[in-house]
Structure 1
Amino acid sequence: MPYITGERKQGLLLPSSIEDYINPSDPVRAYDAFVDQVDITELGIQTEPNRVGAPEFDPRAMLKLLVYGYSYGVRSSRKLERATHHNLSFIWLTGGLQPDHKTIARFRRDNQAALSNILKACAHVCLKLGLVEGNTLFVDGTKVHANASMKNTWTEKRCLESLKDIDSRIARILSECEQADASEQGNPSLVKMRECLGKQGKLKEKIQGVLKDLQAGQKNATNTTDPESVRLRSNGRLGVGYNCQSVVDDKHGLIVHSDVVQASCDSNQFSLQIEKAQQALGKPCATACADAGYASTEDLKKSLDEGMDVIVPSARQVKDPSSRVKKEHFAYDAKDDCYRCPQGHLLRYIGDHKQTKSRIYAVGDPEQCRQCPLFRRCTNSDQGRRVERLFLEDVRERIEQRYLQADAQAVYRRRKLRVEHPFGHLKQNLGIRSFLLRGLAGVKAEAALAATAFNLVRITTILGPEAFVQRLAA
């Protein structure tokens, strides 16, 4: 059977212009049309075409390069540089411009605040095209690793232990130097020991500076590579990174707002992220939904007070059922302000818990609990069972009852389909499991680029590249 073979020396007649390289239905034309209609000065990118000095690459072309690159998982400045030389779609998109990796990295670094606004511009386009309604919004978060190592994370305890170890090493080196001075003057090993002593001294100064910052600030730990990152647990492993928040519209699952916060959990993020999403859309939403990680009653009350329909289950509504006696098995008597346990014993108010913002109720005689047949299923404390009631317990009960209604359940089932889809695409398909830039401003810019990239992929799937370009031009 004959084989089809290639011939590198075969003469070819290439298109006469770069425009002819890409057919009208190629998705890259959608990215080009989107960035062309964005007001880059409104984003915050300074444009001075008449400035005196060496010419710079067109900032709009650089923005196209970043947005298109992130859409296909090409984020490294070196890989983007390589793409402008070898990939026809990149060559067409930039009009044949070939910036080097330093130029690309500098543009991304110098325009972090502007790049953070690109998703807002994309949300406005989606609203204009009718792809986003803004009536029902879903919130979720995911943890993304920082461009830093856990070994460079320092706590006050680690600093003190390291300083103690360094002091002992310095004392040992000084002792060895004194012995060498007395017996082997001019020996090369003496020079080496003094170099080692200098290194230990510099390390000690660095750790002392870190310790001073920890003692002066409110953080329990700091990373010397990326000081703005935080310690967080992801998939059972402790690391350093950021909490990436996303707000998604219900109609087509498009992201209308993204943010990066320095928090290890999603609690107290609900009202903030919904408010920012409403500002981006320029309109209030009717319904907001999230998982139990956002179930902070005090925070959810802010959205309720604005007349919003909040669908968020409490932690106790999603936990696995067990045989233990739970708080909901206790009956509350509002008139006498007390609880009655399943065995009929009274739990009366004994004080407040300021940290959890709740009232504490306990049995009068702990012996009643110890003699109860449900003792080990109810509590293991010899002081008897205690129950906490939030200051806003009535609000929490109202939110829990709303979650159990049939229409709320239907909305909550759509939550996973809408808000978790973008994270899956960005992490699994594009490999965005860690940030490249360091610092909060840098990771916010990357998160906005990634969210915009996801939206453009979705839009070209929904409308098709040609229809999207035509509707933008209309």
Structure 2
Amino acid sequence: MQHITGISRHQMRFSSLEDTISPDNQVRFIDAFVELIDISKLDFAIKTLKTEGRPSFNSKVFLKIYLYGYLNGIRSGRDLEKECLRNMEMQWLLEDIRPNYHSISDFRKDNPIGLKKLFKLFVSFLKDADLIGGETIAIDGTKSRAHNSKKANFNQKKIDKHLAYIEAKTQEYLDTLEENDGKDNSAIIQNIQQKIERLKGNKFRYEQLEEKLKASGEPQISTTDNDARALLVQGQVVEISFNMQAAVDAKHNLVVATHTINRNDRNALSAIAIEAKENLEIETYTALVDKGYHNGREIEACKQANITTIVAQPEQGKNKERITENYLISKFQYDQITDTYTCPQGETLKTTGSWYKKTTDRDSYEFKRYGTPKCRECPVKDLCTSRVEGRKIDRSQYADAVAENNKRYHENAELYRKRQEINEHIFGTIKRQWGYNHTNLTGLEKVNGEHSLIMLVYNIKRSINILGVPDLIAKLQKWNSPYKAKALLLIKTICLKLNTANNFYPMKLAA
């Protein structure tokens, strides 16, 4: 049987790196974009030229490495070093520069602020390229596992459990020593004494952890990564993780704002919503958000920032007073003019006007209390409340904003259903397809930098899929950016190459 044969490995070939890269290869856009920007203005650490010794690498080299690496699912410094040696695309991108893994890893670790600002800069480009609508934005978060095991995370309950075990085990060993006192069991006694000393050392470490926990004022502490927290992932599943927030524009499902926190979503809405507004430099927009973010204070903050929220209304919790469905709080009508409630029986609940403060482990707010003395004589009181003094309704200081939001939620059910279509697949792509479901960096600031890089390459990948590399570079050329002047010549050169290569998407060059 005849097979297809290859060429001889010893045959000489004459070609350039340029000939190996097709006109629509994504590395051409990476090169054009990185060369366009002045990274010193984005607070990247710049390697200074030395008068003696080996010259340093240009910081743009490492930025190109990481953009290419994360676009292709490669994030390890050692793996990126290998790609610099064997990958033709990487050789073209870096002009065959080959840094070692340590220098590569240091760049990501040392530049979290620069990476966050670079993400925002690219969002600005996408807006100018008319790829972002800025009218409807879906907000959500996802958990990213931290570089910290569950065993290295402690709260007071867990510390108390360990201390109690040490105390019980120590007493058990002391009792054994007493039983063997005076007997010829020197080996057993020595072994037990070593175990007691080890327990003393463990007790000292847990007592130090307890002091550190109390001093921090936090409910938990992690020893490998001090900023990592045990967060609820799904149902009753808890992971030591960070919470990556993302605001996604509805036009092309591009991420317009992102940051990472180490708490759950309940108090996170206003920060990511306002960040999206600032990144896009718009007056207002509509935010679609799931019920995990439903918080009066956060909804009020968005209202003050001129952001229209449609946050899903959570289901009412279990009824401690055994209230029947016809007498739920939603059945009581509030009159804003008279500042009163009317119950289903037609009675008016009034307030004294005094404000009370309520603080829980998740929230803190002020409220007014409403009631009526006629509750005690009501014939259906047993259906409404079990309190002797009658039914009381607490109205939060944020009740107006919450009521407006809940009304919009019920009136815009079809629009709200688009929320999952807009942002859920982004987390699926990043975590399931690309495998970016964890971070190997420690510290909230560094993790923020890496997650900004992940969202940046997602936007690059998606914008390339929408427009293609040549058209995207053409828009980059026309971009009215403060970083444009130094790189215009380079982009013109790239565009000329794209035009002359099989007449691939002809572009008009700027004068």
Instruction: Classify the TM-score, shorter chain.
Output: 0.7 to 0.9
CA contact (8 A) 1:139 1:245 kept: yes
Matched with 1:279 is 278
Matched with 2:162 is 162
CA contact (8 A) 2:77 2:105 kept: yes
Matched with 2:331 is 329
- The reply on whether 1:470 has 2:470 as its aligned counterpart is no
Matched with 1:261 is 261
CA contact (8 A) 1:144 1:243 kept: yes
Please tell me the residue identity of whatever aligns with 2:406. Answer: E
Structure 2 unaligned runs (5+)? 318-323, 359-364, 479-511
CA contact (8 A) 1:293 1:315 kept: no
Residue of structure 2 aligned with 1:425, choices 423, 429, 435: 429
Matched with 1:214 is 213
Matched with 2:362 is none
CA contact (8 A) 1:289 1:412 kept: no
CA contact (8 A) 1:295 1:315 kept: yes
Matched with 1:311 is 309
Percentage of matched positions with identical amino acids: 26
1:307-334 CA-to-partner distances (Å, cap 9, x unmatched) read: x251323525899xx9564322112355
1:51-75 CA-to-partner distances (Å, cap 9, x unmatched) read: 2444443321211111222222222
Mapped partners of 1:324, 1:81: distance in 2 = 67
- The reply on whether 1:447 has 2:438 as its aligned counterpart is no
Report matched runs for 1:56-75 at 5 Å: 56-75=56-75
1:235-291 CA-to-partner distances (Å, cap 9, x unmatched) read: 2211221121112233322222210112212x333332233233334x233213132
- The reply on whether 1:359 has 2:368 as its aligned counterpart is yes
Mapped partners of 2:225, 2:95: distance in 1 = 36
- The reply on whether 1:372 has 2:371 as its aligned counterpart is no
CA contact (8 A) 1:230 1:264 kept: no
Displacement after TM superposition at 1:197 (Å): 4.7
Matched with 2:405 is 399
Please tell me the residue identity of whatever aligns with 2:231. Answer: L
Displacement after TM superposition at 1:445 (Å): 0.8
Mapped partners of 1:193, 1:55: distance in 2 = 60
Mapped partners of 1:325, 1:12: distance in 2 = 88
SS in 2 for 1:290: strand
CA contact (8 A) 1:22 1:89 kept: yes
Residue of structure 2 aligned with 1:457, choices 446, 449, 461: 461
SS in 1 for 2:439: coil
SS in 1 for 2:267: coil
- The reply on whether 1:103 has 2:109 as its aligned counterpart is no
Displacement after TM superposition at 1:142 (Å): 1.9
Please tell me the residue identity of whatever aligns with 1:354. Answer: K
Q: 1:43 and 1:12, CA in 2 relative to 1: closer, same or farther beyond 3 A?
A: farther
Using structure 2 for the length normalisation, give the TM-score.
0.78
- The reply on whether 1:127 has 2:133 as its aligned counterpart is no
Q: 1:46 and 1:225, CA in 2 relative to 1: closer, same or farther beyond 3 A?
A: closer
Mapped partners of 1:335, 1:39: distance in 2 = 57
Matched with 2:86 is 86
Displacement after TM superposition at 1:437 (Å): 1.1
Q: 1:13 and 1:138, CA in 2 relative to 1: closer, same or farther beyond 3 A?
A: farther
Q: 1:99 and 1:345, CA in 2 relative to 1: closer, same or farther beyond 3 A?
A: same
Mapped partners of 2:460, 2:356: distance in 1 = 49
Mapped partners of 2:390, 2:7: distance in 1 = 85
Mapped partners of 2:273, 2:58: distance in 1 = 35
Displacement after TM superposition at 1:228 (Å): 0.7
Report matched runs for 1:221-236 at 5 Å: 221-236=220-235
Mapped partners of 2:472, 2:89: distance in 1 = 18
Displacement after TM superposition at 1:423 (Å): 1.8
SS in 2 for 1:147: coil
SS in 1 for 2:279: helix
Matched with 1:252 is 252
Q: 1:158 and 1:268, CA in 2 relative to 1: closer, same or farther beyond 3 A?
A: closer
Q: 1:456 and 1:380, CA in 2 relative to 1: closer, same or farther beyond 3 A?
A: farther
Count how many residue pairs are aligned between Structure 1 and Structure 2: 462
Displacement after TM superposition at 1:455 (Å): 0.5
Mapped partners of 2:8, 2:196: distance in 1 = 63
